[in-house]
Amino acid sequence: MDAAGLVYEGRWSGTDGDPAHNAAGQLVTAAHIATYNSGNVGTALLGTFTTGAPTSAARGALVQPLAELATRHSIDPLQQKVGYVNPVNGATWSGPAVSGHRDWAATACPPGGVPHAQPPAIRADVAALMG
């Protein structure tokens, strides 16, 4: 998602018009968090946020696909503890259903850190959009 709210598909999933899923409806494996790439989806905001937050357009562009994915996969975005098992290598993780990159690994991402404080509000916005 860029500052204008344009959404890009990072790992191409085909021409069927179903982002993040292949023609069989399965999630496409990306490369967003080492050891945990299979069986989940990563989203990214483009930019560096050392002194400011993402634009409202970028924030809206983030919340919309998260709500769509959560609805499709019956995920409660407000759930604070879910268990994840990588379907390929068996790696496990436990944390919020909608989480940030730093929840999965020690990293400086997102650049600047301002978005890292926003997941509670993002979860609430996703839940509200889901109705």
Q: Tell me what pLDDT residue 111 has.
A: 62
Q: Tell me what pLDDT residue 29 has.
A: 85
pTM, rounded to two decimals: 0.83
Q: Tell me what pLDDT residue 97 has.
A: 94
3-state SS, one letter per residue, for the chain: CCCCCCCCCCCCCCCCCCCCECCCCCECCCCCCCCCCCCCCCCCCCCCCCCCCCCHHHHHHHHHHHHHHHHHCCCCCCCCCEEEECCCCCCEEEECCCCCHHHHCCCCCCCCCHHHHCHHHHHHHHHHHHC
Regions of the chain short of the pLDDT cut 50: none
